[in-house]
Amino acid sequence: MKNPLIAREGWLVLLAAFAAALVATWLLGWWSIPFWIWAVFALQFFRDPARVPPADADAVIAPADGRIVVVEKVRDTVLDRDALKISVFMNVFNVHSNKSPVDGVVKGIWYTPGLFVNADLDKASTENERNAIHIAAARGDITCVQIAGLIARRILCYARVGDTLSRGQRYGFIRFGSRVDVYLPVSARPQVSIGQKVTGGRTILARW
């Protein structure tokens, strides 16, 4: 199916925003400018451009647009193992569509309610609302965790246990500023560094 330019999660929001802007223009004239600013912001937030993942079979790709805030060896508490953790922080101006980092089968999904502290902080990984999926790939297991942020209040995950995901396939969405943590086997070799900007579905995070 052809990738839409605007994420389906934003259709109702955009309809309401532009309808409100048009009504405000009719009633308020130039005082309607704040309504148009909100409508344009919503339009850029819910954009969802098509992405073509690299053909490199060794590549693990970024699950979201944003900035790298963590590259370190940690404990993956979901799968109870040592892992390489790479975290992507999304601000409100990034594309918020989430994509599978690898080809694989969804083996488990865990939703955890929690807080909404700034997703740029390390404690967001353990304290914020989050949704983790376990993807079994040919070369190893990956845990991919969607984390709500300070403004984000809704995590959407469309994957189900047993689904087969293709690398770069859209599987979820997080609204208004958030984070995605990727846990890889410790043998994986990181290809990004802290502070680097990445593009979901395109940038190589690590290699097997």
pLDDT per residue over 110-126, tens digit each?
998 876 666 666 776 77
Average pLDDT over residues 67-96: 93
Domain 59-207: top CATH class? mainly beta
Is pTM, for the whole model, over 0.95? no
Provide the pLDDT confidence category of residue 142 given band limits of 50, 70 and 90.
very high
| Bigger pLDDT: 95 vs 122 | 95
Residue boundaries of the structural domains of the chain: 8-45, 59-207
- Find, among 56, 11, 19, 58, the residue nearest to 36 by Cα: 19
* Residues annotated as part of the active site: 178
Mind listing the pLDDT tens digit for each residue in 183-197?
Answer: 999 999 999 999 999
For the chain, give the mean pLDDT: 87
